[in-house]
Structure 1
Amino acid sequence: MSDLYWTIDSLVVKDNVMFGFGWIFHARYEIVSLRFRVMSAGRNVPEHIYADFGKSREDVGRSYLNHARAMNSGYVVFGALSDEKHPDSIVLECALADGSTIELSVPSSKIICFSNDYAKDKNRIVLRQAGTLLKRGLYLIRSGKISSFFDKVKRYLNGRPQTALQKPDAFVSLFELQEGQNLSVILDHNLGGGANQYRDRLVDTIISEGRSAIVLTYHVATLSHMVIVRNKRLNVRYSIPDITFLWQSLQQLSVKDIIYNTAVSFVKPDEIPQFLIRLKVLTSARLMVLAHDFYLVCPSHFLLDHDGKYCRIPEISVCDNCLPKNRYGFAALFTERDISKWRAIWGSLLAAADEIITFSNSTAQLLMKAYPQIESSQISIRPHEVAYLEDKVVRIRQTASLRIGVVGQIGFHKGAAFIQQLSREIKRREVDVNIVVIGSIEVSCEPSVVSQTGPYQYDQLASLIDASGANIILFPSIWPETFSYVVQELMYMDLPVASFNLGAPAERIASYSKGLVLASMDAASVLDELILFHSKIYLAH
């Protein structure tokens, strides 16, 4: 027990949903599983919500310099319980690589429980989370990372609701006469990444047409629905009680189109399709459904099964066994865990859509595999517009030895566990190969093999790759990504790029002159392939 270090920075339970974050590491053993065990009044059986762990915590690493695992000790927990009873007790269960499990009682002082009538408690949440982020920000300042500190502050403030709306009339009154006409309503998460980039450009287009955009999203940190209203005059964010509030508000406005971007992270996700269909019937608006991920197919929206492997959309009987045990993506928010019901609900949305848009042929094929009733003629395949990317060719200076670059925030679905295995294989062979992560990785890797730059801004990417000495870029994502801006950026930079034979990235890399679609996902075989690829690119002339 004395070898285990941990804390809970914030733990919030609203109705039946839990969100929290903190850090934990063991001095001698890797953590293999981390989950919260919840007991509620009137229940004889506990419920479990798994945490996503291994996230970068430089502040903790600095405080525990003698412990290598401290650097990747962060965790986040987000999931739903089966009912809305407040928990009687919460225990953190930490399973270690030696086969043991340590149980840690969560003090009641660390838990904030509330419901929709929660103004006072919401302020407590904001203050507690802000205090934690301030402590982490002070580390960045002391480390000389002033720009990173201000970037984190900006993202935190820009993401939060500015205030709350309680009555639909207050929402309607935001709009001047013409601003409430021909509205675009967009449903989207607020987690960042490619889907949000796409949404932001879409909103800019709507504003340029002189119209208003309403984005319905979900603010995970405060467990609240949020609307973002943007036009030439307004750029505001408000928390709202629930999606019914927006339904009531939009009855008094004029809606031209409804756009489903993604419902990932929304609580009660099974209510979303019916909400959008009812809105379409009410307004006679055009409904577009965009496939940025596979949430339309499964609550595990990266199509990872309960073992963390790409499932390839098997028979329903396999899904029936998998989904109740699945802890990946946002599966824990769908409490019924019934794949047949999930497909029926989301299939109704696809049937009601005026247009279904995917960004690659691969995604379209997978969507039709899950929903055989969809005809290919119903799907428009539109690769993302990337004209905004600049042609910044990176000049490779060091070519004698293989230096593998990995770009981005590398969590589990992006291949963190694979990079860990690859680093161990490199160390085992004692070959002259290194890995540099341009970004950060959410797992502890062999320090003699793997280095990382930390988070970066888009305009820094070319110079960071240049400075890193990387000469082969590996895109290690373990799910069939629907596009990948990162891969497109790397190709624009004229860099050699390798990926697994999955999804849209492999589609594009297969026809790229400096591309390699890997034949295997085994670390030893991939290392062999990358060594040969490096030789072919640089040493064969």
Structure 2
Amino acid sequence: MSSKEADIVFNVDSLKLIRRRLHGWGWIYSKELKISNVEGVATKGKKKVRFNCVWGIPRNDVRQTFLSINFPGGFLISQVLPFVPDKVYIDVRDKSGRQELIDITPFLEFVPLRHSFYQLLKRWLKLTFLYLLRGDFTTWLKLASTKLHQVLPQLKPKKKFEKEYVNLSITNAYLIVDHDLGGGANYYRKRLIEEALAENKEVILLTYNFAKLSYSLNTYNNGKEDEWNLNIADFYTYFRESTPEKIVVNNLVSFEDPLLLLNFLIEIKRQGRTKIVFPLHDYFCICPSFYLINSEGSFCEVPQSWEICYRCLNEHKGRFTLFFPSGPPDIRQWRKTWGWFLQEVDEVRCFSQASADILKKAYPELTSSKIVIQSHSLDDFPVQRPKLDFSRGLHIGVVGHILEEKGAGILREMAEIIHEKTLPVRITVIGDMEIPPSHNFFKITGPYSRIELPKIIEKSGANIFFVPSIWPETFCLTAEELMALRVPLAVFDIGAPPERVAKYSYGLVIKEINAFSALKELMNFFEQMRNQWPVENT
């Protein structure tokens, strides 16, 4: 759909009002506006409320279908409103202060979480009517072809959970609790399931789908996998009656009420012989801002003042706020509940000494004997050393899905320095990035397969690699993969990466976390590597 006033093209993929929780996502693009900020606005009569809208999310599906440029125009909304709205808008502003108010009320649905065939058909006909009314048939046709494969799987509903049909011996099973957001935690979960099945254990997987605001239960038994729709109350009832052999609380980010779930898991632990393992993939157990990035955009260093934490959480506009649509939780109660849980846990699995130290700073009473330092395995990663070309100047390679916490802001600032000083430096992001700069020397390849990474590196021309994360990563699988490929690698002196990069033959640890220092040190690092790089690898 388009807004002709400012040449804005947009779409709302989903927008639901569940009780008073407004939840949805979509994308916005404009050639004319250099969008700098997006907010949500809801009105009812004379009542009006503004709310956080996370914008700048890479949407490769839209880029591939509609555009031939880097496209970071995705947005997310999740907010409990003080009233049921008559109108919902997206307030789009550019760097000059120009404002456009986009009415997205026609996309709003008062529907249940699970769609029937009739509801899906009704929604699709409504969207078709909206596009054709605007005379935008081309956009509708492209959207239809893109979305058809997403709609069809929903027409085959999951089985409703009924405990009498779940043929598992719970006392011999492993229960894994995890989010469904992707990334390293889900990769680790996959390995956990494979290892448990190799030990002839039955596996039960509880996940929370933030997009649909719904729970699922997957069961793995005798080579068979089943998936069930689940009401969380049914889960609590089912597991009160019999306890599993082991519970792995892999990640609770995005869960509807993580503290309630923790209390339930503590109850299970206390009534049986269940062993609980807690892998520390991030710092959600310390703060709802699970990367420990404060409202000013830097590592908070776990302050010892509650007042600082309260102020930060109330001022924060980060993406994590979407998971708390009624506002930030009380940080004292948060730490208290997580502290109880950590006391009951049998093993806290940390993937670096740095992350263990941060955890101990937040919970000094945590018994050190519970903490196990365990590195991630790369036995499924293809180690094929790529050839690097140093003859055409510094070409910085950045690998992964680069969010603000992963260094998107650092890369944008570096690009501006390169542009202003006309430096002979290029940057390629192998993956995607939030709000990338629009310079000819800055390229983005889009999503990649780990198996293809060595070939993509060679094709990109990058010769010095950089992990620009500004949060204290608990491990950083990307850094480990790049070291396995034996390419020059630089990281900031924060979190887990410098523990390993400092011992790496082609490694550089950058002390100051800012774009100017990073670029200066990377340019010096390039000269050093160019002079000592093995001839056979060029």
Q: Which residue of 1 aligns with 2:322?
A: 332
* 1:407 partner letter: V
What does 1:94-105 correspond to in 2, within 5 Å? 94-105=92-103
Q: 1:125 to 1:521 in 2, by over 3 A?
A: farther
What does 1:244-259 correspond to in 2, within 5 Å? 244-259=233-248
Contact 1:358 1:380 in 2 (8 A): yes
Supply the distance in 2 between the matched residues of 1:58 and 1:387 (Cα, whole angstroms). 31
- CA deviations 1:272-309 (Å, max 9, x no partner) are 21122123234431111221011111111111112322
Deviation (angstroms), 1:8 = 1.6
SS in structure 1 of the partner of residue 436 of structure 2: coil
Aligned counterpart in structure 2 of residue 296 of structure 1, from 269, 279, 285: 285
What does 1:458-537 correspond to in 2, within 5 Å? 458-537=450-529
Supply the distance in 2 between the matched residues of 1:106 and 1:62 (Cα, whole angstroms). 22
- TM-score w.r.t. the length of structure 1 is 0.86
Supply the distance in 1 between the matched residues of 2:371 and 2:87 (Cα, whole angstroms). 48
Deviation (angstroms), 1:326 = 1.5
Q: 1:130 to 1:419 in 2, by over 3 A?
A: farther
Supply the distance in 2 between the matched residues of 1:461 and 1:54 (Cα, whole angstroms). 23
Deviation (angstroms), 1:493 = 0.4
Aligned counterpart in structure 1 of residue 157 of structure 2, from 142, 160, 163: 163
Aligned counterpart in structure 1 of residue 260 of structure 2, from 247, 251, 271: 271
* 2:302 partner letter: I
Supply the distance in 2 between the matched residues of 1:340 and 1:161 (Cα, whole angstroms). 44
Supply the distance in 1 between the matched residues of 2:127 and 2:195 (Cα, whole angstroms). 34
Does residue 1:231 correspond to 2:228, yes or no? no
Supply the distance in 2 between the matched residues of 1:267 and 1:127 (Cα, whole angstroms). 28
Does residue 1:322 correspond to 2:317, yes or no? no
Does residue 1:112 correspond to 2:109, yes or no? yes
Q: 1:121 to 1:102 in 2, by over 3 A?
A: farther
% identical equivalent positions: 28
- CA deviations 1:225-248 (Å, max 9, x no partner) are 11121233322222212x221121
Contact 2:158 2:229 in 1 (8 A): yes
Supply the distance in 1 between the matched residues of 2:526 and 2:520 (Cα, whole angstroms). 10
Q: Which residue of 2 aligns with 1:14?
A: 18
Q: 1:265 to 1:153 in 2, by over 3 A?
A: farther
Contact 1:401 1:433 in 2 (8 A): yes
Supply the distance in 2 between the matched residues of 1:113 and 1:245 (Cα, whole angstroms). 25
Contact 1:439 1:453 in 2 (8 A): yes
Deviation (angstroms), 1:141 = 13
Q: Which residue of 1 aligns with 2:87?
A: 89
Q: Which residue of 1 aligns with 2:299?
A: 310
Supply the distance in 2 between the matched residues of 1:157 and 1:266 (Cα, whole angstroms). 26
Q: Which residue of 2 aligns with 1:31?
A: 35
* 2:8 partner letter: L
Does residue 1:51 correspond to 2:54, yes or no? yes
Contact 1:40 1:46 in 2 (8 A): no
Contact 1:56 1:74 in 2 (8 A): yes
* 2:409 partner letter: A
* 1:502 partner letter: I
Deviation (angstroms), 1:126 = 9.2
Q: CA RMSD in A?
A: 3.3
SS in structure 1 of the partner of residue 110 of structure 2: strand
Greater CA drift, 117-126 or 310-319: 117-126
Aligned counterpart in structure 1 of residue 200 of structure 2, from 182, 205, 210: 210
SS in structure 2 of the partner of residue 206 of structure 1: helix
Contact 2:40 2:77 in 1 (8 A): no
* 2:73 partner letter: G
Supply the distance in 2 between the matched residues of 1:528 and 1:214 (Cα, whole angstroms). 50
Q: Which residue of 2 aligns with 1:390?
A: 382
Supply the distance in 1 between the matched residues of 2:121 and 2:227 (Cα, whole angstroms). 20
Q: 1:80 to 1:291 in 2, by over 3 A?
A: farther
Supply the distance in 1 between the matched residues of 2:228 and 2:337 (Cα, whole angstroms). 28
Supply the distance in 1 between the matched residues of 2:509 and 2:112 (Cα, whole angstroms). 49
SS in structure 2 of the partner of residue 46 of structure 1: strand
Contact 1:59 1:136 in 2 (8 A): no
Deviation (angstroms), 1:16 = 4.6
- CA deviations 1:237-270 (Å, max 9, x no partner) are 22212x2211212244451011111111212233
Q: 1:234 to 1:529 in 2, by over 3 A?
A: same
- CA deviations 1:349-369 (Å, max 9, x no partner) are 112212211111111111111
Q: 1:161 to 1:329 in 2, by over 3 A?
A: farther
Supply the distance in 2 between the matched residues of 1:280 and 1:165 (Cα, whole angstroms). 29
Supply the distance in 2 between the matched residues of 1:61 and 1:370 (Cα, whole angstroms). 44
Does residue 1:77 correspond to 2:81, yes or no? no
Does residue 1:450 correspond to 2:447, yes or no? no
- CA deviations 1:287-343 (Å, max 9, x no partner) are 112210111111111111123222221232111101012122423323352211211
Supply the distance in 1 between the matched residues of 2:387 and 2:426 (Cα, whole angstroms). 19
Contact 1:230 1:236 in 2 (8 A): yes
Does residue 1:430 correspond to 2:422, yes or no? yes
Deviation (angstroms), 1:402 = 0.6
Deviation (angstroms), 1:534 = 0.5
Supply the distance in 2 between the matched residues of 1:268 and 1:274 (Cα, whole angstroms). 10
* 1:34 partner letter: V
Q: 1:539 to 1:429 in 2, by over 3 A?
A: farther
Contact 2:243 2:268 in 1 (8 A): no
SS in structure 2 of the partner of residue 13 of structure 1: strand
Contact 1:434 1:449 in 2 (8 A): yes
- List 4+ stretches of structure 1 deviating above 4 A: 60-65, 115-132, 135-142, 164-167
Deviation (angstroms), 1:33 = 2.0
Supply the distance in 1 between the matched residues of 2:408 and 2:459 (Cα, whole angstroms). 22
Aligned counterpart in structure 1 of residue 395 of structure 2, from 400, 403, 411: 403
Deviation (angstroms), 1:119 = 5.0
Deviation (angstroms), 1:93 = 1.9
Supply the distance in 1 between the matched residues of 2:222 and 2:185 (Cα, whole angstroms). 23
SS in structure 2 of the partner of residue 503 of structure 1: coil
Supply the distance in 1 between the matched residues of 2:51 and 2:321 (Cα, whole angstroms). 13
Supply the distance in 1 between the matched residues of 2:471 and 2:390 (Cα, whole angstroms). 31
- CA deviations 1:387-415 (Å, max 9, x no partner) are 33232111213344111111112222221
Q: 1:452 to 1:508 in 2, by over 3 A?
A: same
Contact 2:116 2:155 in 1 (8 A): no
Contact 2:281 2:474 in 1 (8 A): yes
Gaps of 5+ in 2: 132-137, 534-538
Greater CA drift, 256-265 or 410-419: 410-419
Deviation (angstroms), 1:198 = 0.7
Q: Which residue of 2 aligns with 1:146?
A: none
